[in-house]
Structure 1
Amino acid sequence: MRDQLEDALNNQQFGYGQAQHINQVELPKRFYKDVDVARTNDGFVVTLDGKQTRTPGRKLPIVVPAQSIAQAMAAEWAAQEKYIDPTTMPMVRLINSAVESGEENAPAFRAEIGKFAGNDLLLYRADAPQELVDDQELHWDGALVTLARHFDVAFQPTIGIIHQPQPASTLTKLDTALEGQGLLSLTALVSITGITGSGLLAIALLHQLLDAEQVWTAAHVDEDHQIRLWGEDEEAMTRRAKRRVEFDTAVSVVDALRA
């Protein structure tokens, strides 16, 4: 499931997907000197030589509600040297992706998180080896108990990969847990869901039931087990490091909008 949602995000042409094409086209040269953050009646904007930034696709003006998000975007623009490299601008890409998607897609993002939560990573367990079983219980059982108590829901974990439906009341309450989240927050939560393979972990993070490190560790129980067995693969670790940057960026958006 993680791969499916990451693919969906990567295929957004002017958000995350924009970075997928940098090896096929020449990077644009830096065309600006000064980068700044300005406050407007609607929120905060990043300016390049005094001009407000826009999305690269539909040329939509970018306004964010939190100053910290605008400052992070501005830092990425300022860090560009001779050329503009989208792969080094995770915050800009995340916000571009949200703005390009449009408010009309917010319900679909919310539904996608709920869909993952109903068929979640944390609910499908290994029956062997015992070390992996123990690690899953250590990091996943506590998360499920915390969510169950907070939202007054019940989960039905299963061993193996055969689909195990979750109670309808649980799915309804988890969907309600996403009420009030706007497009930017939902875009960040979809990113977290895709990276971790878990809608439940994204919801737990949103409601501060787990912190970012707990979520990251829980999401990588299986992968860490494989590393202990077979050692680190350099290419895989590079991909993981890139995912961590995207994860931290999305978490910072959720935190900023919660504040």
Structure 2
Amino acid sequence: MREAPPPSKESDPSLVSKAADPIAMARRDLKKALPRRFFKEAIAQERDGKFVLLLDGRAAKTPGGHPLALPTMAAALAVAAEWSAAGEIIDPAEMPLTRIVNSAIDGVAHRLDATAAEIAKYAGSDLICYRAAEPEALAIAQAAAWDPVLAFARNKLSAPFICTQGMVFVKQSEAAITAVRHAIGRIAESGAGAPFALAALHVMTTLTGSALLALAVAYGELEPAEAWQAAHVDEDFEIRTWGEDTEAMRRRASRWCEMNAAAILWQDVQSGV
């Protein structure tokens, strides 16, 4: 799968203070010593208009010390279920939804505009705009998976994107980029759920290499699994040609868990339940 070219936070420290990277923040937590399970019951409860995670009756907090509070009961119940399913060791690697929520509260909430801009950068060199000239079977597979997403962007977002063959950069029109920025900007201005929605959208964008695939999921045009498959058209073609790499598939499965968690968070935050 082709990675989009926006600069990483590791390579450009100046970006760290400007934009929150939910994936980087989540992976940071994986490096900490793993604690034993210290609670028997994890539940969600409404408190002061928010929905908090309670562990044996005590309000949970994020790694940054903020209350682990969500804007909808649906999202809080999903997080509580993840904690309830934890084993004897609390392993963040097995809790992707909690990791994304933590990054939303500790990071994205304080950098909404910068995070929205970071997502929008991907549209400037979006995965689905770069096509193979050959082999023909791959070009056909790309068109089948990606052309409907371009049609969604054109018809629903008023964002007309153009494609190119190979890896030569193609500059998209200002109209297309502006339309995507407006779509993401509306999410950034959506109230109490904005940090969580943006964090979810950011994770889906970076994992797929495509802001357009992420927005297609957000708008209900694609199911998360469909977007994930579309993001891996090239990789799946190589697997059919050369065979499967066990370690690569293990990493892909791990990333899918993160993608699916982001999609669940998006849906639950939008539900208003």
Root-mean-square deviation (CA, aligned residues, Å) is: 1.8
SS at match of 2:111: helix
| 1:123 paired residue among 129, 137, 160 | 129
Q: Which amino acid aligns with 1:34?
A: E
Q: How does 1:137-152 map to 2 (within 5 A)?
A: 137-152=143-158
C-alpha displacement at 1:177, in angstroms? 1.1
Given the alignment of the two structures, is residue 254 of structure 1 paired with residue 266 of structure 2, yes or no? yes
**Which residue number in structure 2 is paired with residue 75 of structure 1?**
81
**Which residue number in structure 2 is paired with residue 39 of structure 1?**
46
- Once residues 34 and 214 of structure 1 are traced to their aligned partners in structure 2, the CA distance between those partners, rounded to angstroms, is 35
Q: Which amino acid aligns with 1:11?
A: A
C-alpha displacement at 1:241, in angstroms? 0.9
Structure 2 residue runs without a partner (length 5+): 11-20, 188-193
Listed one character per residue, the Cα deviations across residues 143-191 of structure 1 (whole Å, up to 9, x for unaligned) are: 1022211222321211111211100011111111123321110000000
- Once residues 88 and 158 of structure 2 are traced to their aligned partners in structure 1, the CA distance between those partners, rounded to angstroms, is 54
- Once residues 53 and 16 of structure 1 are traced to their aligned partners in structure 2, the CA distance between those partners, rounded to angstroms, is 20
SS at match of 1:128: coil
Contact 1:43/1:65 (CA < 8 Å) preserved in 2? yes
Going from structure 1 to structure 2, the CA distance change for 1:141 and 1:64 (only over 3 Å counts) comes to: same
| 1:11 paired residue among 24, 31, 56 | 24
Structure 1 residue runs without a partner (length 5+): none
**Which residue number in structure 1 is paired with residue 252 of structure 2?**
240
**Which residue number in structure 1 is paired with residue 16 of structure 2?**
none
> What is the number of equivalent residue pairs in this alignment?
252
- Once residues 64 and 16 of structure 1 are traced to their aligned partners in structure 2, the CA distance between those partners, rounded to angstroms, is 21
**Which residue number in structure 2 is paired with residue 215 of structure 1?**
227
- Once residues 76 and 23 of structure 2 are traced to their aligned partners in structure 1, the CA distance between those partners, rounded to angstroms, is 22
Q: How does 1:92-241 map to 2 (within 5 A)?
A: 92-181=98-187, 182-241=194-253
Contact 2:224/2:263 (CA < 8 Å) preserved in 1? yes
Contact 1:37/1:74 (CA < 8 Å) preserved in 2? yes
- Once residues 243 and 258 of structure 2 are traced to their aligned partners in structure 1, the CA distance between those partners, rounded to angstroms, is 24
C-alpha displacement at 1:254, in angstroms? 1.1
SS at match of 1:179: helix
C-alpha displacement at 1:129, in angstroms? 1.0
TM-score using structure 1 length:
0.91
Contact 2:200/2:263 (CA < 8 Å) preserved in 1? yes
